[in-house]
Homo-oligomer: A and B are copies of this chain.
Amino acid sequence: MATEVDLQAALAHAIEWAQTAGTMIKQAWRSDGVTIEYKSSIDLVTEVDKAVEDYIMAQIKKTYPEHAVLGEESASAQGAYSLEAVPTWCVDPIDGTTNFVHHFPFSCVSIGFCIDRTPVLGVVFNPILNELFSAVRGGGAFLNGEPIHVSAATSIDRSVISTNVGFVRDAAGIEFILENMKALLTHNVRSMRSLGSSALEVCLVACGRIDAFYEFGIHPWDIAAAVCILREAGGVAMDPDGRPLDLTRRRILAAAPGLIEPISQALNTHPPFLPQ
């Protein structure tokens, strides 16, 4: 079954959808009339997220009616989702919605494709900066068509490491987040970043602009595409606790290969707010 999907043809489709979605995002970016809904005071959604997701979902259903689809907004609306072994598209219409709403130019559309629960295709497009990351399994990773590679970093004290500072707000969750930042600062990390888009942050690791990214709280649509891009760029994506990456387990460590072990050892990988 799985081998019947022509990944290069699928990539061409995904790039076309991402570019059309990017035009929709960019038009909304330039207007001031975007309506914001609050899934919670720290989780926003706009009508642009919904329109972009509807557009991409319709394209997928038309082009690949036999494939499964997992989209952020539809999954959120349903309240539950699963990722099975069947060929499945994972779509985040706008990753970095808070940045989008605040006009910080670091948002993207993310279109990933999984077989056997493993990302085999990824397109991540930031239409504001006009940067399109892409990969299919075995074909290398690209930024606007140019090959990209992860950094050669091997020690925390020569690394720039990014994370999402604010995905939970209860006391135990805040302690967990800060405990991990403290561990990296104590290891004399060169610098920490927090940029507000996991898909783009994993892509920044892929192209060597930062050395590692970790997060507890992600969903498959946030990272499926970027994980394929990262791996094709020579990077490693795994569970921070050392297990293989499980896209539904809500956690990721994405890094240059030389950093996986030191970061995994430095972090507490058992967040109190997620199942272990």
Contact = CB atoms under 8 A, between A and B. Distances in A.
Interface of A: 41-42, 98, 102-105, 129, 151, 157-158, 160, 165-166, 169, 171, 174, 177-178, 181-182, 185-186, 188-196, 204, 207-211
B158 A41 contact: yes
Contacts of A157: 41-42
A129 B186 CA distance: 33
A129 B169 CA distance: 33
A191 B41 contact: no
B208 A103 contact: yes
Contact of A129 (B129, B193, B195): B129
Nearest to A192: B165
A209 B42 CA distance: 16
A99 to B, nearest CB: 8
Contact of A104 (B104, B177, B181, B210): B210
B195 A166 contact: no
**Which 8 pairs, one residue from A and one from B, show the smallest C-beta to C-beta distance?**
A165-B192, A104-B209, A194-B194, A178-B178, A174-B185, A103-B209, A98-B191, A102-B160
Contacts of A204: 104
A165 B188 contact: no
Nearest to A42: B190
Nearest to A155: B41
Contacts of A160: 98, 102, 104, 196
A42 B191 contact: yes
A192 B194 contact: yes
Contacts of A210: 102, 104
A169 B196 contact: no
A185 B209 contact: no
Contacts of A42: 157, 188, 190-191
Nearest to A153: B102
Contacts of A158: 41
Contacts of A151: 102
Contact of A188 (B169, B194, B211): B169
Contacts of A166: 185, 189-192
Nearest to A188: B169
A191 to B, nearest CB: 5
B182 A174 contact: yes
A41 B190 contact: yes
Nearest to A183: B174
A178 B176 CA distance: 12
A75 to B, nearest CB: 21
A105 B106 CA distance: 11
